[in-house]
Amino acid sequence: MENTVLRIESFSAYFGDNKILKEINLTITKNIVTAIMGPSGCGKTTLIRCVNRMHELIPGTKVSGEMFLGSHNIYSMEPILLRRMVGMVFQKPNPFPTMSIYNNVIAGYKLNGIRRPRDEFDNIVEQSLKKAALWNEVKDSLHRKGTFLSGGQQQRLCIARALAMNPEILLLDEPTSALDPKSTAQIEELFVELKQNVTMLLVTHNIAQAARVSDFTAFLYLGELVEFGPTEKMFTVPKDKRTEEYLTGKFG
């Protein structure tokens, strides 16, 4: 399918002898938000870390099966090139503490040695901050440190930093779990706008959040993909009893 962004086929991941992900098959299409849900320790974060090969930084990990980003085999790509195409936003906001807001946004270019004329960088910074709904709040303080911002603003700065590289897909690992309700609501609104331009894979513990912002949901349990489908359908008529029990709070 030409609108497929990410295809995962018979994919398993191991830490030592421990099999964390078990034969995952999943197809993610363009311009949608897919929530990845499941109880703690079920493999959600491992799955998205495998998409940009961050698990390779941990000794003793190995994978089997395949992942494709568009037509590219993720495990045959140069990791640096892959990570330009796959943006990542973590649980805790992590702007680079020594960098200004401006330099945080273009950090991906600087760290990869990608040169651009100054006016082009100015435009990338402005457009990325606008996409992250942060421009109006910081446009007069672009050369102050990113760490002076509030938690919610710092997370939007991290989203702007990821968007600046024009990724094919944005991975979000519980991006609002460290934020207050108002900041969480702002970032959820942002996801709905952003999906016009970028595909998102959102790990969340928050069932209500998945219901509000995602188009599709994948439910993982003990490393297996139990169920995957349109969020509204899964939340109203789940096919699997384990999904139903998780959604009704019987475990998790």
Q: Which tens digit of pLDDT belongs to each residue from 99-108?
A: 999 999 999 9
pLDDT band at 111 (very low <50, low <70, confident <90, very high): confident
pLDDT score recorded for residue 252: 62
For 166, counting Cβ atoms within 10 Å of its Cβ (0-12 exposed, 13-18 middle, 19+ buried), the class is middle
Mean pLDDT, rounded, for 176-202: 93
pLDDT score recorded for residue 1: 58
For the question of whether the overall pTM of this predicted structure is more than 0.85, the answer is: yes
Exposure letters 21-46 (e unless 16+ CB within 10 A, then b):
beebebebbbebbbbbbbeeebbbbb
Sign of CA dihedral 198, 203, 206, 211: positive
Q: Which domains does the chain have, with CATH numbers?
A: 4-247 (3.40.50.300)
